[in-house]
Structure 1
Amino acid sequence: MLPSVALLSLLAAAPFSVVAHPTKDVNPFLGKNYYANSHYASELEETKAAFLKKNDTLNAARVTTVQRTGTFVWVSSVAGLSGIDTAIAEARQELRRTRKQQIVQLVLYDLPDRDCSAGDSAGEFSSADGGLEKYKTEFVDKFAKAVSSAPDLSFAVVLEPDSLGNVITNQAIEFCASASPIYEEGIAYAISKLQFPNVSLYIDAAHGGWLGWADNLPLAAAEFSKVLKLAQTFKKGATIRGFATDVSNFNPYIANPRANYTEWSPSYDEQHYALSLAPYLRNASVPHHFIIDVGRSGLQNSREEWGDWCNVKAGYGERPTTETGTEIVDSLVWVKPAGESDGACGPEIDGEGAPGAGLWWDKYAQQTVQLANPPLAPTYL
Structure 2
Amino acid sequence: MHSILHSRTVATAVSCMALALSSSIGLTSAEELCSIPPYSYTRAKSDHPELTSAIETLENYAIASWFTDRQGTDERSTMLSNMLNQCSEETRLSIVVYGIPNKDCAAGLSSEGSVKSTDDYKAFLQELTGAIGDRKVLYVVEPDALGLLAEEGGCGASAGYLDNLKVAVEALSSNPNAELYIDIGYWMLAYPDSASKVATAMKEIVTSGRVKGVTINTSNYRSTDECTTYCTNFQTAMGKSDMSCVVDTSRNYNGSPTSDWCNVQTAGIGKPPTSETGVSNIDYFMWIKPPGESDGECPTGGTSAGSFYLEGFTLLWDQSYFVSEQGMPKIGDGPSTPAPTKYEPNSSADDENQSAPDQTTSMPTHAPTTDNSNWNQEQTVGTVAPADTTSTEAPSTPETVAPSTTAPVMETTTAPSYSTTPATTAPSTTASTGQTESTTQSNAIPPRSACKTKKRLRSL
Using structure 1 for the length normalisation, give the TM-score: 0.70
Structure number having the greater helix percentage? 1
Return the offset for 1:379. Answer: 5.5
Q: Say if 1:28 and 1:249 are closer, same or farther in 2 by CA, change over 3 A.
A: farther
Counterpart check, 1:105 vs 2:94: yes
**In structure 2, the residue corresponding to 1:178 is in which secondary structure?**
coil
Residues in 2 aligned to 1:355 and 1:45: alpha-carbon distance in whole angstroms: 18
Counterpart check, 1:167 vs 2:149: yes
Q: Which residue of 1 aligns with 2:121?
A: 135
Contact 2:62 2:287 in 1 (8 A): yes
Residues in 2 aligned to 1:326 and 1:380: alpha-carbon distance in whole angstroms: 29
* Aligned with 2:190 (options 206, 209, 212): 212
Residues in 2 aligned to 1:323 and 1:50: alpha-carbon distance in whole angstroms: 35
Q: Which residue of 2 aligns with 1:312?
A: 264
Q: Say if 1:379 and 1:206 are closer, same or farther in 2 by CA, change over 3 A.
A: farther
Counterpart check, 1:327 vs 2:326: no
Q: Say if 1:134 and 1:319 are closer, same or farther in 2 by CA, change over 3 A.
A: same
Residues in 1 aligned to 2:337 and 2:47: alpha-carbon distance in whole angstroms: 17
Deviations 1:283-312 (A, max 9, x none): 5xx8412111111112323x342xx54433
Q: Say if 1:27 and 1:252 are closer, same or farther in 2 by CA, change over 3 A.
A: farther
What is the total number of aligned residue pairs between the two structures? 299
Q: Which residue of 2 aligns with 1:347?
A: 299
Q: Which amino acid aligns with 2:293?
A: E
Residues in 1 aligned to 2:106 and 2:262: alpha-carbon distance in whole angstroms: 14
Unaligned runs of 5+ in 1: 1-25, 96-100, 232-237, 255-268
Counterpart check, 1:44 vs 2:41: yes
* Aligned with 2:111 (options 82, 97, 122): 122
Residues in 2 aligned to 1:76 and 1:27: alpha-carbon distance in whole angstroms: 35
Q: Say if 1:81 and 1:64 are closer, same or farther in 2 by CA, change over 3 A.
A: same
Contact 1:136 1:189 in 2 (8 A): yes
Q: Percent identity?
A: 23
Q: Which residue of 2 aligns with 1:371?
A: 319
**In structure 2, the residue corresponding to 1:158 is in which secondary structure?**
strand
**In structure 2, the residue corresponding to 1:202 is in which secondary structure?**
strand
Deviations 1:187-229 (A, max 9, x none): 211111122121111111221x333222211111111112222
* Aligned with 1:87 (options 83, 87, 91): 83
Q: Which residue of 2 aligns with 1:247?
A: 218
**In structure 2, the residue corresponding to 1:215 is in which secondary structure?**
helix
Higher-Rg member (1/2): 2
Residues in 2 aligned to 1:28 and 1:291: alpha-carbon distance in whole angstroms: 21
**In structure 1, the residue corresponding to 2:181 is in which secondary structure?**
strand
Unaligned runs of 5+ in 2: 1-24, 329-335, 340-460
Residues in 1 aligned to 2:131 and 2:311: alpha-carbon distance in whole angstroms: 35
Residues in 1 aligned to 2:52 and 2:233: alpha-carbon distance in whole angstroms: 40
Residues in 1 aligned to 2:262 and 2:102: alpha-carbon distance in whole angstroms: 20
Counterpart check, 1:144 vs 2:144: no
Counterpart check, 1:299 vs 2:270: no
Contact 2:250 2:291 in 1 (8 A): yes
Q: Which residue of 2 aligns with 1:222?
A: 200
**In structure 2, the residue corresponding to 1:121 is in which secondary structure?**
coil
Return the offset for 1:345. Answer: 4.5
Deviations 1:156-201 (A, max 9, x none): 00100111111112525xx54532xx22222211111122121111
Contact 2:268 2:320 in 1 (8 A): yes
Residues in 2 aligned to 1:76 and 1:355: alpha-carbon distance in whole angstroms: 20
Residues in 2 aligned to 1:185 and 1:146: alpha-carbon distance in whole angstroms: 24
Residues in 2 aligned to 1:27 and 1:221: alpha-carbon distance in whole angstroms: 32
* Aligned with 1:178 (options 154, 158, 161): 158
Return the offset for 1:36. Answer: 4.1
Residues in 2 aligned to 1:249 and 1:155: alpha-carbon distance in whole angstroms: 23
Residues in 1 aligned to 2:337 and 2:33: alpha-carbon distance in whole angstroms: 17
Q: Which residue of 2 aligns with 1:273?
A: 230
Return the offset for 1:48. Answer: 3.5
